[in-house]
Structure 1
């Protein structure tokens, strides 16, 4: 088959996706929704992502607001609509958002807010926005999705413990690859998960490695979560891999989940049942 933009390789995964499999972390960037309507990266629109779905076999998706679209959710809402009930969204907002706008976004399929603070210098939001917004979205049944480093998670442990809504940890908690589950953030995350307060995204193997492919150090981290809390894990491709100069092969990333899960039953839990519960798929 032909290649997918921003994805290496052309072969399908060696492990077939089960019916209803969900890619719970991907981004849509479409210059048609930029202020000028022109420019920006090519090959990251919803039509391009649907090529990826056909290649790896997923049918459900959770689109995470791209930084390039700021707090304007027109692109995100359009992508959700285009998948006709098989997509949800994670937005980015400031505390000044009105209640009526929150209700509009909820009706459009948004189910959480992301706080990407891994690199504070280019962040759209700040850590002091997390709690005020968590209080605003709790009654909607939304969650906060946190992209923090392991050290940042430890520093924010008291804040995380008092949030009134669920928490989803991005990219396996961004634990230092050389320490992995031995880093204290792992215990903070697992404690919140076991209390029914949090979930973890098994995504971004290339963000959790010091070794590179086949990501043995990231595999150690993922397997540690699978051993502890398999019922609260979801998987994401992180397409279109905007951080990567050399794009990974998404079929290989999809196959890696089978290695992490250790069994078809756990893999199906991560791909189907867990995201259905977290994001409200029917």
Structure 2
């Protein structure tokens, strides 16, 4: 049974007006189940609708993306079988970000790598996961660094100061989910967002996903003046990061948008926000092609430069 009030994804997204550059990557999305094949974790905080790899790949093709980066959903815990299954089925067109525990063996890490996993996710959003000791996470980070993987971190803006020392001790590239969830009702030039910009400025191993405006917006999904660009209050924050750190930004749909409470976004309209946060073709190509390829398919990027 789904969590009461669970919102399923938008079944009939509109076709984006923005034409994605060739080779574009949806660098943050998920698969859920199907639960009869890949059961949800007993310790999960929510039970979602099923969202299969076939449905994800159909959305990829409809929106105009070439590849996906599939991030392990917290409802599956450290059971990465659904993620691995999707990566294998994508025949090289998907990479994965897994969740692992300290008990993971080297052979299991190697198998994940072969399947396409290139990172692990550490979640610090208290309503979604239980606390994992930081020494355990540092041990995991040290092990996956040897594979050339990176760490994805998910936290809320007010917690950055408390987590700063831990984040800056990580021995890998560090990718921040959704800009560290800034409060877009606050001043873009204020101290909270300023601390996040300082975090990226002082640590060139830190990247950011400029994704999930539907989670961050206060004004909501209504477009203004007939433009196909909802969530206008989030755009200045994302654009500032893209323009200041153009070589360390990623973008993703977050399909199928878990745990939203009031509305489900139209994925086609989400794509149409991209030219508002990356206003030039060069910035768009870095955001959607060059950066995710360098991080997740470095072997292909290297071949392309020869």
The TM-score normalised by the length of structure 1 is 0.90
Q: What SS class does the counterpart of residue 140 from structure 1 fall into? A: coil
| Cα gap change, 1:124 to 1:46, in 2 (>3 Å) | farther
Q: Runs of 5+ in structure 2 lacking a partner?
A: 1-7, 42-46, 222-229, 301-306
Shift of 1:127: 5.3
1:95 matched to 2:102: yes
CA contact (8 A) 2:208 2:249 kept: yes
- Cα gap change, 1:24/1:42 in structure 2, threshold over 3 Å: closer, same or farther? same
Tell me whether 1:174 sits opposite 2:199 in the alignment.
no
1:267 aligns with 2:300: no
* 1:115-135 superposed Cα distances (whole Å, 9 cap, x missing partner): 1221x2440552513322111
Question: Which of the numbers 205, 212, 222 marks the counterpart of 2:213?
Answer: 205
* 1-structure distance, mates of 2:217, 2:133: 26
Structural mapping, 1:54-133, within 5 Å? 54-118=61-125, 120-123=126-129, 126=132, 128=134, 129-133=136-140
Q: Comparing 123-132 with 254-263, which one deviates more in the overlay?
A: 123-132
Cα offset, 1:34, TM superposition: 1.2
**Other-structure match for 1:34:** 39
Contact in 2 for aligned 1:148/1:173 (Cα 8 Å): yes
3-state SS, counterpart of residue 95 of structure 2: strand
Contact 1:13/1:56 (<8 A) preserved: yes
- Assess, with a 3 A threshold, how the Cα gap between structure 1 residues 156 and 180 changes in structure 2: closer, same or farther: farther
Q: Which runs of 4+ in 1 moved over 4 A?
A: 40-43
Deviation at 1:9, TM superposition (A): 4.2
Contact 2:247 2:286 in 1 (8 A): yes
Q: Secondary structure at the match of 1:230?
A: coil
Alpha-carbon RMSD across the aligned residues, in angstroms, is 2.0
Spell out, residue by residue over 1:208-262, the C-alpha distance to the aligned partner (whole angstroms, 9 max, x if none).
1121122122112101102210111010000001122421100100110111101
Taking structure 2 as the reference length, the TM-score comes to 0.83
Q: Does the aligned pair in 1 maintain the 2:14–2:269 contact within 8 Å?
A: no
Q: Which deviations, in whole Å up to 9, do the C-alpha atoms of 1:102-153 show, x marking residues without a partner?
A: 11111111111111221x2440552513322111111111111111011212
- Asked whether the equivalents of residues 40 and 76 of structure 2 are also in contact (C-alpha less than 8 Å), the reply is no
Larger mean Cα displacement after TM superposition, 90-99 or 234-243: 90-99
Structure 1, unaligned runs of 5 or more? none
Tell me if structure 2 keeps the 8 A contact 1:6–1:43: no
Q: Tell me if structure 2 keeps the 8 A contact 1:176–1:183.
A: no
Please state which structure has a larger fraction of its residues in helix.
1
**Aligned residue for 1:12?**
15
Q: 215, 240, 256: which is aligned to 2:273?
A: 256
Q: Secondary structure of the equivalent of 2:32?
A: coil
User: For the Cα contact (< 8 Å) 1:145–1:170, is it kept in 2?
Assistant: yes
Partner of 2:245: 229
* Rounded Cα–Cα distance in structure 1 between residues aligned with 2:115 and 2:190: 38
* Residue aligned with 2:185, SS: coil
1:182 is paired with a residue of what secondary structure?
coil
